[in-house]
């Protein structure tokens, strides 16, 4: 994973790089490092742990130049340590490199370079890159050429930034399968793994494609293909504003993002949906009559958004839907062809497994449609069609607002498909109105969080928790359970309520907490009897419901506004997000940066 940032201009590079790294910490926080080029010398400072350790490193003020590259690391090859931190230098200390990605053939390259007399001080895969550049530079005497030859040798994924006193007015960057954007300023330019890292300085961006190289000077950017032929690229103006990637009055990004949900859901609905009008998606011209199966493929929370919406597609479009994890889908020879529509969901648009699954679907001739949050990200450039959620930058590692936006957008897409197939009904019209009412209903839930906060205080010391529900309530239970694991480190499981009796109920004893989600009028009685069964065995129960429920010994009853059960995940997930959040806070944990996790998983 890892995050990289670069600056070239007239300002001091260090403050810009530190600010960028702080915003990229969601990608990894095992160590951080900076290299600044000044008076023909590459000066490097590294610190183990979080970026704040680097920020307070007493050596940092010595880096005074205006050209620099920086890195925050999520360790893959080699433990988090100073030696393994980036930037890495070649043996002659003429090339400094930061890298996000994994070089799969680094052992082979290292052996080859060792034969040539090169030595290595780290256990990383990255250290081969500066040495490989140095190796080619010896014969080519041209840095751009040396970089292009070096990256031709690399197998795997990379976004790299290279600086050198031999080319003192430029940063060279290249990418393959790892994200990299170039922010354009006046007399200065920026490089980063994502847009928010430099959004404070510019809203104008170039998106580097796979196998492209750029030479970035302070007032000029030149692009090349991998044979070093010059290419033209289009600049894009990004609508996100810098404030949307700041914490503001909130204690954590996660809390801020939970509270932003009514607004971003409203923006995601945008003008796509209006009462008594047909739904509208520009540019999607799939012949749905020709589609006999939909696959929804994604990872983590995005996959849960697929599970929560499969019911809508099946109900309104009458097309069977299968939801799969990208990591499974890509290795199981799925039965797909030109009559299959594969929908890929991703907040970042950079998840390695999702990208691989998408490429596989394309090769099989399926139609591919991506639901993505980050504009211009890799997935959007591969899929046949892309539709965007408008969640804005999501910084907290645990995804919240991206999920609700994905669920809403997929529901709208299902309506659009149904209408394109010629279906219309009163139910479909009411469903549209209900979608438009979601933001105000979400706000009602967020206006009073006390009960959830109190219940979290009651149970935060427990070692295990269980979530149950049926239909979309089961899908949302899975997401609630994932949120809890991610940020509170409490073991939890989600079960389809009807499955309890087939095993999990053996785990229920006095004092065990069970969270029931019951929003489906046709299934509420059944879920409530399942809850009765756990109460009988001593469970401590929280229910999230918008239905009339029988009088039972429930410890915490969270009422949410009524809505179609196909849309209820958008509402019922909010108490579950808050529950996980308050528990993590009660345990004094870092909710925005949970241990071992990264937001954008660009490795397998």
The distance of closest approach from Cβ of residue 399 to ligand G6P in the complex, given in angstroms and rounded to an integer, is 4
- Terminal alpha carbon distance of the chain: 10
The distance of closest approach from Cβ of residue 239 to ligand G6P in the complex, given in angstroms and rounded to an integer, is 20
The distance of closest approach from Cβ of residue 73 to ligand G6P in the complex, given in angstroms and rounded to an integer, is 17
Q: Which lies closer to ligand G6P via its Cβ, residue 344 or residue 431?
A: 344
The distance of closest approach from Cβ of residue 402 to ligand G6P in the complex, given in angstroms and rounded to an integer, is 6
Q: Which lies closer to ligand G6P via its Cβ, residue 472 or residue 577?
A: 577
Q: Are strands 513-518 and 540-545 parallel, antiparallel or unpaired?
A: parallel
Distance (Å, whole) CA 305 – CA 320: 17
The distance of closest approach from Cβ of residue 558 to ligand G6P in the complex, given in angstroms and rounded to an integer, is 23
Q: Which lies closer to ligand G6P via its Cβ, residue 198 or residue 302?
A: 302
Q: Which lies closer to ligand G6P via its Cβ, residue 42 or residue 494?
A: 494
CA separation, residue 111 to residues 79, 114, 304, 310, 432 (Å): 21, 5, 44, 50, 62
- Residue 2 annotated to the active site: yes
Q: Which residue in the list 441, 585, 593, 599 is annotated as catalytic?
A: 599
Residue 526 has which token pair? 């059944």
**CA dihedral sign of residues 209, 212, 215, 219:** negative
Distance (Å, whole) CA 216 – CA 197: 18
Q: Are strands 67-73 and 3-8 parallel, antiparallel or unpaired?
A: antiparallel
Q: Which lies closer to ligand G6P via its Cβ, residue 87 or residue 376?
A: 376
Q: Are 162 and 172 in contact (CB under 8 A)?
A: yes
Q: Which lies closer to ligand G6P via its Cβ, residue 347 or residue 380?
A: 347
The distance of closest approach from Cβ of residue 99 to ligand G6P in the complex, given in angstroms and rounded to an integer, is 20
The distance of closest approach from Cβ of residue 377 to ligand G6P in the complex, given in angstroms and rounded to an integer, is 9
**3-state SS of 403-455?**
HHHHHHHHHHHHHHHHHHCCCCCHHHHHHHHHHHHHHHHHHHHHHCCHHHHHH
**CA dihedral sign of residues 98, 101, 102, 106:** negative
Secondary structure class of 225 (helix, strand, coil): coil
Distance (Å, whole) CA 196 – CA 238: 10
Q: Which lies closer to ligand G6P via its Cβ, residue 90 or residue 479?
A: 479
Q: Are strands 96-103 and 88-89 parallel, antiparallel or unpaired?
A: antiparallel
Distance (Å, whole) CA 367 – CA 202: 35
- Residue 563 annotated to the active site: no
Q: Which residue in the list 2, 299, 405, 556 is annotated as catalytic?
A: 2
Q: Which helix (H) or strand (E) holds 19?
A: helix 13-24
Residues at the contact surface with ligand G6P, assessed by CB under 6 A: 299-302, 346-348, 351, 354, 397-399, 597, 599-601
Q: Which lies closer to ligand G6P via its Cβ, residue 29 or residue 106?
A: 29
Of all residues in the shown chain, the one whose CB is closest to ligand G6P is 300
Tally helices (H) and strands (E) across the chain. Answer: 17, 25
Q: For residue 590, count other CB atoms closer than 10 A to its CB.
A: 14
CA separation, residue 99 to residues 71, 86, 194, 404, 491 (Å): 8, 8, 14, 33, 34
DSSP type of residue 243: G
The distance of closest approach from Cβ of residue 65 to ligand G6P in the complex, given in angstroms and rounded to an integer, is 34
- Among residues 128, 118, 214, 202, the alpha carbon closest in space to that of 172 is found at 214
Q: Are 418 and 317 in contact (CB under 8 A)?
A: yes
Q: Are 372 and 229 in contact (CB under 8 A)?
A: no
Residue 145 has which token pair? 């050429």
Question: Which of the residues are catalytic?
Answer: 2, 599
């Amino acid at each position: 994973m890892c995050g990289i940032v670069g600056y070239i201009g007239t300002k001091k590079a260090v403050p810009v790089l530190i600010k960028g790294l702080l915003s990229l910490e969601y990608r990894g926080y095992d160590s951080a490092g900076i290299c600044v080029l000044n008076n023909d010398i590459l000066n490097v400072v590294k610190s183990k742990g979080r970026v704040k350790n680097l920020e307070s490193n007493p050596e940092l003020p010595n880096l005074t130049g205006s050209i620099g590259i920086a890195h925050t690391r999520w360790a893959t090859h080699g433990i988090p340590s100073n030696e393994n931190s980036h930037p890495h230098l070649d043996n002659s200390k003429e090339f400094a490199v930061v890298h996000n990605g994994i070089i799969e053939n680094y052992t082979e390259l290292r052996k080859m370079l060792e034969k040539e007399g090169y030595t290595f001080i780290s256990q990383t895969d990255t250290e081969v890159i500066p040495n490989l550049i140095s190796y080619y530079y010896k014969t080519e005497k041209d840095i751009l050429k040396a970089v292009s030859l070096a990256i031709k040798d690399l197998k795997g994924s990379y976004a790299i930034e290279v600086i050198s006193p031999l080319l003192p007015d430029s940063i060279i960057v290249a990418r393959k399968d790892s994200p990299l954007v170039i922010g354009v300023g006046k007399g200065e330019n920026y490089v980063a793994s994502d847009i928010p890292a430099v959004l404070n300085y510019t809203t104008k961006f170039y998106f580097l494609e796979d196998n492209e190289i750029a030479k970035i000077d302070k007032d000029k950017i030149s692009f090349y293909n991998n044979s070093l032929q010059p290419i033209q690229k289009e600049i894009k103006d990004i609508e996100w504003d810098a404030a949307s990637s700041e914490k503001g009055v909130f204690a954590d990004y996660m809390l801020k993002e939970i509270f932003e949900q009514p607004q971003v859901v409203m923006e995601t609905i945008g003008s796509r949906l209006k009462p008594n009008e047909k739904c509208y998606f520009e540019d999607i011209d799939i012949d749905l009559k020709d589609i006999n199966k939909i696959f929804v493929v994604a990872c983590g929370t995005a996959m849960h958004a697929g599970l929560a919406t499969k019911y809508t597609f099946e109900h309104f479009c009458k097309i069977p839907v299968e939801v799969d994890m990208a990591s499974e889908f890509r290795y199981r020879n799925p039965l797909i062809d030109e009559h299959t529509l594969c929908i890929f969901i991703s907040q970042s648009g950079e998840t390695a497994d999702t990208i691989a699954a998408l490429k596989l679907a394309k090769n099989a001739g399926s139609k591919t449609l991506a639901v993505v949050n980050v504009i211009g990200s890799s997935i959007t450039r591969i899929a046949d069609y892309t539709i965007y959620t408008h969640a804005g930058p999501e910084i907290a590692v645990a995804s919240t607002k991206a999920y609700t936006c994905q669920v809403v957008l997929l529901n709208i897409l299902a309506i659009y498909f149904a209408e394109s197939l010629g279906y219309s009904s009163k139910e479909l019209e009411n469903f549209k109105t209900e979608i438009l009412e979601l933001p105000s209903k979400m706000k009602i839930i967020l206006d009073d969080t006390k009960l959830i906060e109190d219940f979290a205080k009651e149970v935060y010391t427990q070692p295990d928790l269980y979530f149950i529900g049926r239909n979309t309530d089961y899908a949302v239970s899975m997401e609630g359970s994932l949120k809890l694991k991610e940020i509170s480190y409490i073991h939890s499981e989600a079960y389809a309520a009807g499955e309890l009796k087939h095993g999990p109920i053996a785990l229920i004893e006095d004092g065990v907490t069970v969270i029931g989600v019951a929003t489906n009028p046709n299934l509420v009685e059944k879920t409530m009897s399942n809850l009765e069964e756990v109460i009988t065995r001593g469970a401590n129960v929280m229910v999230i419901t918008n239905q009339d429920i029988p009088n039972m010994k429930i410890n915490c009853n969270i009422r949410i506004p009524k809505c179609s059960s196909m849309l209820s995940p958008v509402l019922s997930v909010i108490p579950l997000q808050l529950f996980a959040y308050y528990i993590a806070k009660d345990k004094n944990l870092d909710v925005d940066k949970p241990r071992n996790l990264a937001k954008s998983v660009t490795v397998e």
